[in-house]
A and B are shown apart, each in its own frame.
Chain A
């Protein structure tokens, strides 16, 4: 499974209206979660601004020590491919979102995401790929 920032933020910020939903999703699918370096940066930044740097660091440690969480570092070659996807899709999404799109389409993995635009884009592209 590939996690997006919207899911991770909802999971770790209990004030988020999707907090319970994110826990339920995780309880339903206890499989390995892949987090790209860009998603990790984006998540850290949002949590840091909303809950403070100490909490953001604690979350980072929690993720780092979890054997079911895989941090995925994008190679230069993959970043080039992501640029190509951006040029092709032309959707107003963050670069981090595009890293999720890239992996979701490449590996046909389930995504943990509450961003409607991102879900719509991935589902549409999967349909036309089939």
Chain B
């Protein structure tokens, strides 16, 4: 049994997908194939990221870091 879902695509997205799609593939297959391909190229995960962060640690003074760029640029919070 097939499930039919209606989705709406922009004309631009439709053009791109049509170029990538092979005759034997549905549009959904095309999207999944390219998403998986993109994902496979990514080699790291969160576990690896945590290990990497811990590995680059050095002994340094703790400070409150502002995310306000103006304060950083003009040194207001120094």
Contacts and interface: CB of A to CB of B under 8 A. Distances in A.
Given A15-B60, A46-B72, A49-B72, A68 B46 contact: yes
Contact of A66 (B44, B63, B64): B44
A48 B60 CA distance: 18
A26 B43 contact: no
Interface residues of B, number: 28
Interface residues of A, number: 31
A5 interface: yes
B12 interface: no
Contacts of A15: 60-63, 65
Contacts of B5: none
A9 B67 CA distance: 8
A30 B62 contact: no
Interface of B: 39, 41-50, 52-54, 56-58, 60-67, 69, 72-73
Interface of A: 5-6, 9-17, 19, 23, 26-27, 30, 33, 42, 45-46, 49-50, 62, 64-69, 94, 115
23 contacts: A5-B67, A9-B65, A11-B53, A14-B56, A14-B57, A15-B62, A16-B62, A16-B63, A16-B65, A17-B64, A23-B53, A26-B46, A30-B47, A42-B67, A42-B69, A46-B65, A46-B69, A65-B42, A65-B43, A66-B42, A66-B45, A67-B43, A115-B67
